[in-house]
Amino acid sequence: MRAAGVRHADDVAAVRGLDAIDLPTIQRKLNFHYSVTLDLFGAEISTNAANAFNAGIKGRYHETEIDDDHRLLEATYPVLTWDGAQFRAEPKPALGAINARLLDDYVADSEQLVRAWNKVLEANRVDFRLTLPHRAFNRRQGAFASLSVSPTGDVIGRERWDAQRDAWLPTRDDLEYVLSLMRARTRAGEFAPWIAPPKNGVGGKPGDFEYVRIAA
């Protein structure tokens, strides 16, 4: 964007004209992949997770670094819930909240990564910041599966959510455009236009290093 003189992130046509992926599309893709990944953790409160923890086949992130008895018989853990009027953290038995804790650790890790991305945008004076959607957004599993929630955490009607869907999640046009960029590069030193070439190749070699030679 900077090299091409594109000053505004919402100038989607100009960015796509460079065979690059525009930031609004990246934000919609981020919204999608983050929300569906949260679903992979399953229900925040789970008897199956508790049983797996007791059996020693499921643990918490950095289990050995957690300062407790690692049995969780009396412990509690704050779990985000919707009480019909607002989201709030409610203490739950920690043993049943294994999934909720793993999900919280994933959220914290994702927040750190997005902060790093935004530092790049800030350093390049791009007028755009990526954000993680609210954890209740676009959920199909867990405590928030029945809610229609905006990326900012507003609980809204389903009709209104559907009307805003294309502003929040990738559209067919977005997906077709990204697929259109997946063009083969078969010569040493060539890179797809939508990614930045690495500073160095494998083993510190230059980008056009001939790693494999095929004998005639």
Residue-level pLDDT at 108: 97
Nearest-angstrom CA–CA distance, 35 and 134 = 9
Joined tokens for residue 95: 């043993």
Q: Tell me the one-letter amino acid at 124.
A: N
Nearest to 100 by CA among 82, 78, 71, 122: 78
Nearest to 138 by CA among 26, 31, 41, 1: 31
Nearest to 140 by CA among 30, 49, 29, 42: 42
The model's pLDDT over 49-68, given as tens digits with 9 standing for 90+, comes to: 999 999 999 999 999 999 99
Q: Where are the alpha helices (DSSP H) in the chain?
A: 12-16, 23-39, 47-54, 98-123, 158-168, 172-180
* pTM exceeds 0.85, yes or no: yes
The model's pLDDT over 164-200, given as tens digits with 9 standing for 90+, comes to: 999 999 999 999 999 999 888 887 778 887 777 888 8
User: Residue 91: beta bridge partners?
Assistant: 78
